[in-house]
Amino acid sequence: MRNLRSVFNLQSFRCNQLEAITATLEGRDVFVLMPTGGGKSLCYQLPAVCKGGKTKGVTVVVSPLLALMKDQVDALKNRGVDVCLWNSDTPQEESTQIQNRLVSNNRPMLLYVTPEKLKSSESTRRLLRRVYGEQGLARFVIDEAHCISTWGKDFREAYRCLDTLRDDYPGIPIIALTATANQNMVDDIIQRLKLKDCAFFTQSFNRPNLNYIVLPKKGKMIDEMVTYINREHPRQGGIVYCRSRAKCEDVAKGLREKGILAQHYHAGMASQDKEETQRMWQQDSCHVIVATVAFGMGIDKPDVRFVIHHDLPTTFDGYYQQTGRAGRDGNPSDCVLYYSYADFGQNVKLFEKSQQEKPYEISRETLRNQVEEARLIMQYASNEVTCRRVLVLQFFGEKFDPALCKRMCNNCASHELLVEENLTNEARAAVELVRTLADQNLTTDHCRTIFRGREIGKKGPFGHYPFFGAGKGMSVDLVEQMFGKLLVDDVFEEKSLKNVSGWHAMYLKVDSFLGYSKSSY
């Protein structure tokens, strides 16, 4: 407790922190599954600086991201903590110094190493064994522990070398931490690290201070964003995520032209420019950072008041992680997602393209999984009825009572205004129409036009088809939404056909159809 205040300048523990710290100080193996922003770092940084307890010596932290380690090491140094960072780029002189210190009595409290350094260098292992022999290792910390599991997308080859930590250093406690792991992965991680009688800490992934807002995307959304920012978060810090580098630059420029202090940030920039942009944003001299998803890992800005997804994310996990960067200080913050069916289609096409380009790296099965995940997030976005928290937490296998959302999602907030419109008959007619048109090499757009009772130029005429004009009474937007929903729900499928001028023809895939309703306000 004394260290919490004096070293880390914090007032009290958050959920599971004290419990995890106590367990590791008692010399137990510990597994911490905590959402991003939950405060995992403290669970190993605080015990590392504690004198007393059953453990003493150096806390060795293995973490996959060098940039993240550097930030943590700098922050700890600023707090007066004795800490070293050791990776493959560490200059010889500094390496020698670290090695000398590890075997002296004046050891650092924390040693951050990359898995690559542990794996590739025999001398590192020899040295650690020597320190171990002198009872000088307090514990191993495996940060982002999901990287060790081949179940996950983030599997890291170098993390494999951690399989032998337990045998190489018997009796040294291990603490594994991650923000993302389902039960299979948890079991896998425990097995690989050979954790014994491990103290397991998990908590709800609900972030009660985040307001989930999902809105349909129309055009570039610049004016909408400017209005929203000026109204809800003037001069406050935020992130806008975009799909591509070019888009980041374009959107940032658009925002600047309307008077918002915005800068783009992506991997194509010189590292100096990136650092400068990040620094300005962290010091609030730039308010909004417009970035690709590469931005954010390991960035610790507690008062991000909004995260906007300008384009539909490709995975739910990514969406959760990125939205999780808002409101780390616990104050109310917004997560805004703009979605369109076109975005979903584009995501699918991008996956298909990279699979075609790299058929040996990306299997057909991987492609199928990618499409399924993209579909999941599209279904989440286009659901205008169910509490968004229920849907987000469902992804993590968590049941959530929507009454506890407290109108902190736009579906709960607008519930009273909701009128459900049953479109099952219209959707059925659309399915029948598309079925009869299946061999005509038509695009989705053609089908929508015919559905609304219009001919399509040279092709046709289609007036004599049984469901021609079945959607006459519907607006263009509603027809587009309904067709989009049928696509996302896998009732329709779009396929590219070379002979249809680069467009996509629509085929009927499944015969059965259950029912469809659209909610409107």
102, 108, 113, 119: CA torsion to nearest 10:
20
Residue 181 within binding range of Zn ion, rule CB under 5 A: no
Site for Zn ion in 377-396 (CB under 5 A): 387, 389
Nearer to ligand ADP, 36 or 314 (CB): 36
Site for Zn ion in 142-161 (CB under 5 A): none
Task: Provide the minimum distance between the beta carbon of 397 and ligand ADP in the complex, in angstroms, as a whole number.
Answer: 19
Task: Provide the minimum distance between the beta carbon of 57 and ligand ADP in the complex, in angstroms, as a whole number.
Answer: 23
Residue 213 within binding range of Zn ion, rule CB under 5 A: no
Determine the residue type at 180. Answer: T
Task: Provide the minimum distance between the beta carbon of 323 and ligand ADP in the complex, in angstroms, as a whole number.
Answer: 13
The span from the CA of 248 to the CA of 266, in Å, is: 8
Nearer to ligand ADP, 41 or 370 (CB): 41
Task: Provide the minimum distance between the beta carbon of 11 and ligand ADP in the complex, in angstroms, as a whole number.
Answer: 6
Nearer to ligand ADP, 39 or 268 (CB): 39
Mode of pairing for the β-strands spanning 262-265 and 288-291: parallel
The span from the CA of 234 to the CA of 260, in Å, is: 9
Residue 445 half-sphere exposure, CB side, CA atoms within 13 Å? 6
The span from the CA of 430 to the CA of 428, in Å, is: 5
| From 141-149, 345-353, 400-408, 507-515, span contacting Zn ion (CB under 5 A) | 400-408
Task: Provide the minimum distance between the beta carbon of 520 and Zn ion in the complex, in angstroms, as a whole number.
Answer: 18
Residue 405 within binding range of Zn ion, rule CB under 5 A: yes
Task: Provide the minimum distance between the beta carbon of 112 and ligand ADP in the complex, in angstroms, as a whole number.
Answer: 14
The DSSP-derived string for 406-446 is TT-BHHHHTGGG-EEEE-HHHHHHHHHHHHHHGGG--BHHH
409 binds, among ligand ADP, Zn ion, none (CB under 5 to 8 A by kind): Zn ion
Residue 412 within binding range of Zn ion, rule CB under 5 A: yes
> Which H or E run includes 178?
strand 174-178
Task: Provide the minimum distance between the beta carbon of 144 and ligand ADP in the complex, in angstroms, as a whole number.
Answer: 9
Nearer to ligand ADP, 37 or 345 (CB): 37
Neighbours of 499 (CB within 10 A): 7
180 binds, among Zn ion, ligand ADP, none (CB under 5 to 8 A by kind): none
Residue 102 within binding range of Zn ion, rule CB under 5 A: no
Q: Contact positions toward ligand ADP, by CB under 6 A?
A: 10, 13-14, 17, 34, 36-42, 300, 302, 328
Residue 429 within binding range of Zn ion, rule CB under 5 A: no
34 binds, among ligand ADP, Zn ion, none (CB under 5 to 8 A by kind): ligand ADP
Nearer to Zn ion, 28 or 389 (CB): 389
The span from the CA of 284 to the CA of 292, in Å, is: 20
Task: Provide the minimum distance between the beta carbon of 72 and ligand ADP in the complex, in angstroms, as a whole number.
Answer: 8
Nearer to ligand ADP, 317 or 343 (CB): 317
40 binds, among Zn ion, ligand ADP, none (CB under 5 to 8 A by kind): ligand ADP
Nearer to ligand ADP, 14 or 504 (CB): 14
Reduce the secondary structure of 48-80 to three states and give it as a string. HHCCCCCCCCEEEEECCCHHHHHHHHHHHHHCC
Task: Provide the minimum distance between the beta carbon of 347 and ligand ADP in the complex, in angstroms, as a whole number.
Answer: 26
Which residue matches tokens 């500094």?
94
Task: Say which residues have a Cβ less than 8 Å from residue 313's Cβ, sequence separation at least 6.
Answer: 241, 293, 319, 322, 337, 377
Rounded to 5 degrees, what are φ and ψ at 244?
-120, 165
Cβ distance 409 to 212 under 8 Å? yes
How wide is the angle at C-alpha 341 spanned by C-alphas 338 and 343, nearest 5°?
A: 65
> Which H or E run includes 349?
helix 341-357
Residue 210 within binding range of Zn ion, rule CB under 5 A: no
Contacts to Zn ion by CB under 5 A: 387, 389, 405, 409, 412
